[in-house]
Amino acid sequence: MQLQTARLIIREFTYEDMDAVHAYASDPLVAKYMIWGPNSKEETRSYIGLTLEWQSQIPRKDFEFAVVLKETDQLIGGCGIHISEPGQGEIGYCFNPLFWRQGYTSEAAASLLEFGFEELNLHRIYATCRPENVGSAKVMQKLGMVYEGHLREHMWHKGRWHDSYQYSILKPEYERVKRLERTL
C-alpha cells in the first residue's frame, strides 16, 4: 500500500528502514513529545517488526507508514492511522528534526485524512499532542481539525502523568475543506 503527495511517498515500512527510523526514534528532541523513547536499537527493531505484523491484519486496524522524499528516496519520518473503534481513527506522525518546519508533516497528515475518510470511510479522525508541542498543534489546526479539549494527566510515561490536547475532524468538515481547496 502506498500514498503519494506532491513531494512525498508514504509507504509501508520494511526492515531496510531500520537505520533511518532509529536516527529519529533515538533522538531525545523527538522523544520528548512522545510516549516512547528515546529508543534503543532493539526498541526500534521491535517497532519495525510490529508494523510489519500490522500489514497482515485482517481486518486491518493499524496502518503505519514510512514517509519518504520523492526527490531523493530518503526516509524522513513516519505517520499512521489507527482505527480505534468503528468509524473512528487516530492519526499520528513523527519526523526527523532535520525535516521539521518544511511542511512535510502537514503534507503527510493531510494524506492520512484523505486515506481515512475516502478509503477507510471513517466518520471522525482525531489526534493528540502534548501541550508544549506547538508545532504539532499547528499542523492539526492547518488541517482543519477542531480543538476538542485538554486531556489532563491521562498518559503515564517515564514515571509521571502527562497532559494532551485533542483535535478532531468529521467527514463532513473534511469534505467542506476539500471543496474550498478546489475553488481556490
Residues in the chain: 184
The string of pLDDT tens digits covering residues 146-160 is 999 999 999 888 888
Residue 37 is predicted with a pLDDT of: 67
**Higher-pLDDT residue of 169, 35:** 169
Give me the CATH code for the 2-183 domain, please.
3.40.630.30
Whether the per-residue pLDDT at 161 is higher than 70: the answer is yes
In sign, the C-alpha dihedral spanning 99, 42, 162, 126 is positive
Write down the mean pLDDT value for the chain.
Answer: 93
81-104 residue pLDDT tens:
999 899 999 999 999 999 999 999
pLDDT of 183 > 80? The answer is: no
In sequence order, what are the residues at sequence separation of 6 or more whose Cβ sits closer than 8 angstroms to the Cβ of residue 47? 21, 25, 39
Question: What are the structural domain ranges in the chain?
Answer: 2-183
> Who has greater pLDDT, 1 or 119?
119
117 has pLDDT over 90: yes
What letter would DSSP give residue 127?
A: E
What distance in Å separates the CA atoms of residue 146 and residue 166, rounded to the nearest whole number? Answer: 8
Retrieve residue 65's grid coordinates: 507508514
Q: How confident is the model at residue 48 (pLDDT cuts 50, 70, 90)?
A: very high
